[in-house]
A and B are shown apart, each in its own frame.
Chain A
């Protein structure tokens, strides 16, 4: 069976449009013993970088202090959606603390307007980090719709021993 991954990748334009359309991501970090930890954060996308905010008393923030390598995931799968509506991107990189003159005002304002997804009533402060798009994986399942149209259903079911 051919792998499908190469068929489902977003174009650079599709990726940028997708990242502009959302403001919540999942961020993976590593504990000191190398075990994975995962959290959620708000983000904004600007000039090909994803800027996300973490509380400074969070485990994710502490983990980044020890090892700044992260993976941020943005995924769209609405409740009333088809398998082929699923889209997403995984961004790997080193989380760079971004503040002061290195933090454009527009980004600070955009993030300040977004409540934290995990604790929405908490103050909208925290450390802002950013990562780029240099190491990313994306997927858009709409691109593989009808991929089995050249095989008859009964033939596939017979091959699988289901009928």
Chain B
């Protein structure tokens, strides 16, 4: 995720992105530099890439504007699927391993369940916030790199 620092220089934060049904959200600390950067200038660019060990690198560039969600919007019962993914780090509704055993292939179950629960706590308390990436340009990087 590319934003601009206070001095105007570019910065790029690796982020987890939560995507469903054409919507994409980012989850971050309210005290973070990236939250401050977006609050100051909501223009955003994201590069969604293949995994770091994938020899066949592909990337999509998304450019647009970031839109802040309040805690109430984030925790709304009728929130979209993408918001639900973002607010629960993909673990919404999972409170024990038996709820979704496939999610724990690479994680220690109890630790991940703790992180998911703490995420809800932090959003409710305004410690962590969601931003939506509202795109006006989406393209494969190799198609637009020389544009």
Chain A positions near chain B (C-beta within 8 angstroms): 1, 3, 22, 24, 26-30, 34-40, 55, 57-60, 69-73, 75-83, 88, 90, 92, 117-120, 145-146, 148, 151, 153, 156-157, 159-163
Contacts and interface: CB of A to CB of B under 8 A. Distances in A.
5 contacts: A34-B43, A40-B141, A69-B9, A69-B10, A83-B115
Nearest to A139: B14
A36 B4 contact: yes
Contacts of A72: 12
Contact of B113 (A60, A118, A153): A153
Contacts of A162: 95, 117, 120
A3 to B, nearest CB: 7
Nearest to A70: B10
Given A28-B10, A118-B145, 9 more contacts: A1-B127, A59-B145, A71-B11, A78-B53, A79-B53, A83-B106, A92-B5, A160-B118, A161-B120
A37 B106 contact: no
Contacts of B45: 28, 35-38
A160 B145 CA distance: 44
Nearest to B114: A148
Contacts of A30: 4, 8-10
A157 B145 contact: no
